[in-house]
Structure formats: structure tokens, C-alpha cells
């Protein structure tokens, strides 16, 4: 089957490296979204800086359900989901088996703005920032082209939902509850 870039709404220049990167992203999206519960793929690991300045890896949360929110301080739809995220997290206060992981893709020169926004919006959970070269790797590894993006990771460290429902969707709570019972 020949891939037609225009059928995916993608544009590209004649640079072979860019074509290869776009192809890898498209293939990643198809692969990541094609697995069932019995055949989930391992979530690509990443290590990013926390608000406290320590390095935190996704793999450190194995054994817990992880709800990843990829966002940025300049993303209006991202910020509109934050109050819902806060309410969703509050519904899981009785369990330590779930992690709400917020990954900001703000540039490295906006660390103060990122920290201020987290405090202003009173967002509790684990906060990491993906900046510079790591930002590109994180977005590429997960085939993320737009934000906000939500991803659910099961207790075994596998992607349960690559393009998960947002916190504002009532189905999100039910799906997370189901993942916790697995």
C-alpha cells in the first residue's frame, strides 16, 4: 500500500529526513492505536525535569495507572481542561494506584511561567517539563501532533489508550476505574 501524504492532511518539503520523520510518526500512530488489552504495546519511556528540578522517568510509575496530560501554558484548550482534571483527580483520592502526570511542552525559557501556571490553576499531581531536544523526542515517540493530548498507561507500563478522552469527558473516569481493576 502506498502512503499518500495528502490523505493524512500532511504537507512536506523535499527533505528526505522530514519525509522519514513524518512516515515514522504516521506509522507510530497506527501501531500505538491498534493494540487490544491482550496485546498492548509498552509505553515509550521518557525522563524529564520535575518542578523541583529532579529527573523523573515514566518507568518509575510501573505498577500504577498513569493518566498523562500533554499540555502547554499557551494552549487555551489545555487550560480549559485543567478544572476538569482537578475534579477527576479528586475522585481518585482513595487510591495510591493512579498517577496524574502533567507534561508541559513549554520551551525551556518559560520554566517560571510553567510553574506559575501550575500554582495559579492549583493543579496537583506530578509535573514535568519537556523542553528543547527532549520535547521533539517525546512528541515523536508518542506521535503527538496537537495538544492537549491525553494518554492512559496501564499498571504493566503499556499504553491502554494512545488518544484518551479528556478529563471533561465522563467516560474518562470509567476507563480509569476499569484500568485500576485490571
Indicate the range of 28-37, 46-55, 58-67, 164-173 predicted with least confidence: 28-37
User: What is the average pLDDT across 56-67?
Assistant: 96
- Clarify whether residues 93 and 167 are in a common domain: yes
Are 165 and 174 contacting, i.e. CB atoms less than 8 angstroms apart?
no
- Clarify whether residues 47 and 129 are in a common domain: yes
- Clarify whether residues 96 and 21 are in a common domain: no
- Clarify whether residues 155 and 66 are in a common domain: yes
- Evaluated on CA atoms 69, 157, 89, 163, the torsion sign reads positive
Residue range 86-136, pLDDT digits in tens: 999 999 999 999 999 999 998 777 789 999 999 998 889 999 998 764 455
- Clarify whether residues 45 and 22 are in a common domain: no
- Give the residue numbers spanning the domain of 21: 1-32
- Clarify whether residues 128 and 161 are in a common domain: yes
| SS3 annotation, 69-84 | EEECCCCHHHHHHHHH
- Clarify whether residues 19 and 72 are in a common domain: no
- Clarify whether residues 23 and 45 are in a common domain: no
pLDDT greater than 90 at residue 35: no
- Clarify whether residues 71 and 50 are in a common domain: yes
Taking the model in full, what pTM does it have? 0.78
If one counts the domains in the chain, the total is: 2
pLDDT greater than 50 at residue 37: yes
Residue range 7-20, pLDDT digits in tens: 344 443 444 444 44
Are 59 and 141 contacting, i.e. CB atoms less than 8 angstroms apart?
no
| Residue listed under C-alpha cell 522519514 | 20
Task: Provide the pLDDT for residue 167.
Answer: 97
Task: Provide the pLDDT for residue 139.
Answer: 83
Q: How many C-beta atoms lie closer than 10 Å to residue 156's C-beta? A: 12
Among 9-13, 26-30, 158-162, top mean pLDDT goes to: 158-162
Helical axes 76-90 vs 170-181, angle rounded to 10°: 50
- Clarify whether residues 23 and 74 are in a common domain: no
DSSP output for the chain: ----GGGGT----S-HHHHHHHHHHHHHHHHHTS--GGGPPBPPP-EEEETTS-EEEGGGGTTSEEEEEEE-TT-HHHHHHHHHHHHHHHTTTT-SSEEEEEEE---GGGHHHHHHHHHHTT--SEEEE--THHHHHHHHHTT--SSSEEEEE-TTSBEEETTPPPTTSHHHHHHHHHHHH-
- Clarify whether residues 19 and 71 are in a common domain: no
Task: Provide the pLDDT for residue 16.
Answer: 47
Task: Provide the pLDDT for residue 131.
Answer: 74
Q: Which residue has the higher pLDDT, 166 or 109?
A: 166
What whole-number distance in Å separates Cα of residue 168 and Cα of residue 81? 6
At 120, which CATH number? 3.40.30.10
- Clarify whether residues 28 and 61 are in a common domain: no
Amino acid at each position: 500500500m502506498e502512503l499518500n501524504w495528502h490523505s493524512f492532511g500532511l504537507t512536506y518539503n523535499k527533505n528526505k529526513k522530514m519525509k522519514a520523520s513524518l512516515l515514522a510518526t504516521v506509522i507510530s500512530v497506527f501501531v500505538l492505536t491498534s493494540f487490544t488489552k491482550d496485546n498492548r504495546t509498552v509505553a515509550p519511556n521518557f525522563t524529564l525535569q520535575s518542578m523541583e528540578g529532579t529527573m523523573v522517568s515514566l518507568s518509575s510509575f510501573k505498577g500504577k495507572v498513569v493518566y498523562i496530560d500533554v499540555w502547554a501554558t499557551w494552549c487555551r484548550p489545555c487550560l480549559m481542561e485543567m478544572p476538569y482534571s482537578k475534579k477527576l483527580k479528586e475522585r481518585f483520592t482513595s487510591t495510591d494506584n493512579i498517577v496524574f502526570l502533567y507534561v508541559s511542552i513549554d520551551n525551556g525559557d518559560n520554566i517560571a511561567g510553567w510553574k506559575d501556571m501550575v500554582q495559579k490553576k492549583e493543579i496537583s499531581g506530578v509535573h514535568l517539563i519537556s523542553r528543547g531536544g527532549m520535547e521533539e523526542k517525546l512528541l515523536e515517540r508518542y506521535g503527538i501532533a496537537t495538544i492537549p493530548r491525553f494518554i492512559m498507561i496501564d499498571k504493566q507500563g503499556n499504553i491502554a489508550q494512545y488518544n484518551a478522552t479528556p478529563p471533561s469527558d465522563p467516560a474518562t473516569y470509567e476507563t480509569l476505574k476499569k484500568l485500576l481493576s485490571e
